[in-house]
Chain A
Amino acid sequence: MIVNEDTKQQQVKSMNSYLAPLVRDIPPSGIRKFFDLANGSKDIITLGVGEPDFTTPWHVREACVYSLERGVTAYTSNAGMIELREAISQYLYDGFHVGYDPQNQIIVTVGGSEAIDLALRALIVPGDEILIPEPCYVSYSPITSIGGGVPVGIETYAKDDFKLTAEALEAQITPNSKVLILCYPSNPTGATMTYEDWLPIAKVVEKHDLIVISDEIYAELTYNQKHVSFASIPGMMDRTILVSGFSKAFAMTGWRMGYVCAHPDIIAAMLKIHQYTVMCAPVMGQVAALEALKNGMEEKDRMVESYNQRRRLIVQGFHDIGLECHEPQGAFYAFPSIVSTGLSSDEFAQRLLLEAKVAAVPGTAFGAGGEGFLRCSYATSVAQLTEALDRMGEFLNKLKRES
Chain B
Amino acid sequence: MKELTELKLKVLDLLNEDARRSPLLLATLIGVEEEAVKEAIAELEADHVIVKYAAVVNWSKIEEETVTALIEVQITPERGRGFEGIAERIYLYPQVKSVYLMSGAYDLLVEVEGRNLREVANFVSEKLSPIDSVLSTKTNFILKKYKQDGIIFEDREEDNRLMVSP
Contact = CB atoms under 8 A, between A and B. Distances in A.
A and B bind: yes
Interface of A: 29, 31, 34-35, 38-39, 44, 46, 48-51, 53, 55, 137-139, 187, 309-310, 312-313, 316, 359, 361, 365, 382-383, 386
A312 B31 contact: yes
Contacts of A53: 159, 161
A44 B163 CA distance: 9
B164 interface: yes
B163 A382 contact: no
Contacts of B14: 309
Interface string B92-109: 000000000000000000
Nearest to A48: B164
Nearest to A32: B164
A309 B29 contact: yes
Contacts of B30: 309, 312
Contacts of B18: 382-383
Given A55-B157, A382-B18, A50 B28 contact: no
B150 to A, nearest CB: 13
B166 to A, nearest CB: 5
Interface string B1-42: 000000000000010001001000100111100000000000
Contact of B164 (A46, A139, A383): A46
B57 interface: no
A202 to B, nearest CB: 28
Interface string B108-129: 0000000000000000000000
Given A35-B162, A39-B163, 20 more contacts: A31-B164, A31-B166, A35-B164, A38-B164, A39-B164, A46-B164, A49-B162, A49-B163, A49-B164, A50-B166, A51-B165, A53-B161, A55-B157, A139-B166, A187-B166, A309-B14, A312-B31, A313-B28, A359-B164, A386-B25
Given A312-B28, A312-B29, A34 B166 contact: no
A137 B165 CA distance: 11
15 contacts: A31-B164, A31-B165, A38-B164, A44-B163, A46-B164, A48-B163, A48-B165, A49-B161, A51-B161, A309-B29, A309-B30, A312-B29, A359-B163, A382-B21, A383-B18
A51 B159 CA distance: 11
Given A309-B30, A312-B28, A313-B29, A29 B166 contact: yes
A138 B165 CA distance: 10
Contacts of A29: 166
Contact of B165 (A49, A309, A382): A49
A211 to B, nearest CB: 24
A274 B150 CA distance: 43
Which are the 6 A-B pairs with shortest beta-carbon distances?
A48-B164, A309-B29, A38-B163, A35-B164, A50-B165, A138-B166
A31 B164 CA distance: 7
Q: B18, B30, B159, B164: which has the most chain A beta carbons within 10 Å? A: B164
Given A55-B157, A382-B18, A35 B29 contact: no
A34 B21 CA distance: 32
B81 to A, nearest CB: 40
